[in-house]
Structure 1
Amino acid sequence: MSTQKISTSLKLGLELGPIVLFFAGFRFFKDRSFSIFGTDYSGFIVMTALFVLMIVVSTGILWRLTGTISKMQLMTLVLVVVMGGLSVYFNDDHFIKMKPTLLYLAFGGVLGFGLLRGQSYLKLVMEEALPLQPEGWMILTRRLCGFFFALALTNELVWRIFSTETWVTFKTFGLTLAMFGFFMAQAKVLDRYGIKDQA
Structure 2
Amino acid sequence: MKQILEFLPLIIFFLVYKFFDIYVATGALIAATLIQLIVTYLLYKKIEKMLLVTFAMVAIFGTLTIVFHDDNFIKWKVTLIYMLFAGLLIGSQLMNRSIIKSMLGKEIEAPEKIWRNLTFYWAAFFSVCAAINIYIAYNFSLETWVNFKVFGLTILSIINLVGTIAYLYPHLPQEENDKE
* TM-score with structure 1 setting the length: 0.82
Q: How does 1:109-124 map to 2 (within 5 A)?
A: 109-124=87-102
Q: Does structure 1 retain, via aligned residues, the 8 Å contact 2:16–2:24?
A: no
Q: Which amino acid aligns with 1:92?
A: D
State the Cα RMSD in Å: 1.7
Q: Does structure 2 retain, via aligned residues, the 8 Å contact 1:108–1:146?
A: yes
Q: Tell me the alpha carbon deviations over residues 73-112 of structure 1, each in whole angstroms, 9 at most, x when there is no partner.
A: 1111110001001111111111011111000100000111
In structure 1, list runs of 5 or more residues that go unmatched.
1-9, 30-42
Match of 1:73 in 2: 51
Cα separation, 1, equivalents of 2:80 and 2:145: 16
Q: Does structure 2 retain, via aligned residues, the 8 Å contact 1:105–1:148?
A: yes
Equivalenced residue count is 176
Cα separation, 1, equivalents of 2:13 and 2:93: 35
Greater strand percent: which structure?
1
Paired-residue identity, %: 31
Shift of 1:193: 2.7
- Equivalent position SS for 2:96: coil
Q: Does structure 2 retain, via aligned residues, the 8 Å contact 1:135–1:193?
A: no
Pair 1:146 & 2:124 matched = yes
**Moved segments of 4+, more than 6 Å:** none
In structure 2, list runs of 5 or more residues that go unmatched.
none
Cα separation, 2, equivalents of 1:183 and 1:142: 14
Match of 1:16 in 2: 7
Pair 1:131 & 2:122 matched = no
Match of 2:160 in 1: 182
- Equivalent position SS for 2:47: coil
Match of 2:25 in 1: 47
Greater helix percent: which structure?
2
Match of 1:104 in 2: 82
Cα separation, 2, equivalents of 1:125 and 1:181: 20
Cα separation, 1, equivalents of 2:35 and 2:115: 33
Pair 1:192 & 2:170 matched = yes
Q: Does structure 2 retain, via aligned residues, the 8 Å contact 1:132–1:190?
A: no
Match of 1:27 in 2: 18
Shift of 1:198: 6.4
Pair 1:86 & 2:64 matched = yes
Cα separation, 1, equivalents of 2:170 and 2:95: 24
* TM-score with structure 2 setting the length: 0.90
Q: Which amino acid aligns with 2:155?
A: L
